[in-house]
Amino acid sequence: MHQGDDGPLGRAALNDDRIAMMELLIAHGADVNAVWRGAFPIIFSPCESLAPKSLQWLLDHGANPNCADPARGITQSALDYVIATYARSRLQACIGILLAAGATTKYDEPAFLDLLCGRMDAFAARLDHDSSLVHRRFPALDVGTTAGRRMTLAGATLLHVAAEYGIVGGARLLLDRGADVNARADVGASGVGGQTPLFHAASQYDDHGLEVARLLLERGADLTVRARLPGDYERPDDFVDATPLEYARLFPGGASETVKVLSSIRTSLG
């Protein structure tokens, strides 16, 4: 029952179809606020896999979303973990559930959260109030790893964010407000960075960035731009120099429809 500090409950919480298993485990004394192996709160399980029903069930049964505890090496809240996870589908649902439960996040940038939540009216109002948001870069957004790659949104624009999370409406709104389709993220002291939004859209699992990629290409995204970027997630010392197409081909989405679309356009350009 309590193996690995309630590890069985943590495994059950990964999927929405295992709620009956969670009910059985809780009935026999499992703890929704246990910390698996001393570093992974149980509530992080549905946050990692974006399982909204499981997440809501844990919250309804007393799980604490604001579980960051630096003294124990836990540096993220549940909302931080959702924002940073590699999955993309059901993201808005999970963020909404956590916000309704009073979750807090270190990524407390209102425009960023409105964009992730799909609150386009509120997002547009923020752009109306402060047009500099369209071009601003956000160094603190150290999130966005997915599809086996380590590239993040640190130093990127909101258009990069929309491309990373597949938010077509947000991307279109930003472009209509004058966002640069070929804006480069900040380049760090080591020379890593400088990617355009297309890099983020092109290198997603399951073609999640396909529609944003098409929009960016329609608005003039440059397929020839190169950037030096973090490579494979399992190899911290891996860095690559690549175009958006070359970068996308390095990861699991390499045989995807998105890559085919970019390849066909690149071929037509000669």
Q: For the residues 45-70, what does the mean pLDDT come to? A: 97
- 239 strand-pairing partners: 230
Residues 68 and 155 in one domain: no
The label of the residue with tokens 């490579």 reads 231
- pLDDT attached to residue 270: 56
Q: How confident is the model at residue 5 (pLDDT cuts 50, 70, 90)?
A: confident
As to burial, measured by CB atoms within 10 angstroms (0-12 exposed, 13-18 middle, 19+ buried), residue 3 is exposed
Are residues 16 and 120 both part of a single domain? Answer: no
Separation of alpha carbons 122 and 166, rounded Å? 18
Q: What separation, in Å, do the N-terminal and C-terminal C-alpha atoms of the chain show?
A: 61
Residues 88 and 115 in one domain: no
Spatial CA neighbour of 165 closest among 183, 145, 180, 195: 145
List the structure tokens of 60.
């309804």
pLDDT at 94: 97
Same domain, yes or no: 138 and 79: no
Same domain, residue pair 48 and 77: yes
Average pLDDT score, the chain: 95
Considering the domain architecture, whether residues 99 and 212 belong to the same structural domain is answered as no
From 57, 80, 106, give the residue that closes a domain: 106
Half-sphere exposure in the Cβ direction for 190 (13 Å, CA): 8
CB 80 within 8 A of CB 104: no
Q: Same domain, yes or no, for 158 and 240?
A: yes
109 touches 138 (CB < 8 A): yes
> Does 89 lie in the same domain as 144?
no
CATH classification at residue 241: 1.25.40.20
Contact 30, 62 (CB under 8 A): no
Q: Are residues 159 and 228 in the same domain?
A: yes
| Domain match, 101 and 129 both | no
Q: Which of 77, 106, 135 is the last residue of a domain?
A: 106
Beta bridge partners of 146: 149
Residue after which a domain boundary falls, among 59, 81, 106: 106
Q: What is the pLDDT of residues 31-48, one digit of tens each?
A: 999 999 889 999 999 999
The phi-psi region of residue 228 (left if phi > 0; otherwise alpha if psi is between -120 and 50; otherwise beta) is: beta
Q: Considering only CA atoms, which of 98, 101, 68, 193 is closest in space to residue 142?
A: 193
The pTM of this model reads 0.94
Same structural domain for residues 3 and 100?
Answer: yes
Shared domain check, 96 and 162 = no
Interior/surface letters 70-100, b for 16+ CB within 10 angstroms, e for the rest: eeeebebbbbbbbbbbebbebbbbbbebbee
Q: Which domain holds residue 101?
A: 1-106
d(CA 85, CA 44) in angstroms, rounded, equals: 10
> Residue 156: which pLDDT band, with cuts at 50, 70 and 90?
very high
Phi and psi at residue 149, in whole multiples of 5°?
A: -115, 155
| H/E run at residue 241 | strand 239-242
The answer to whether residue 268 scores a pLDDT higher than 70 is no
Count of domains observed in the chain = 2
What is the Cα–Cα distance from 99 to 106, expressed in whole angstroms? 13
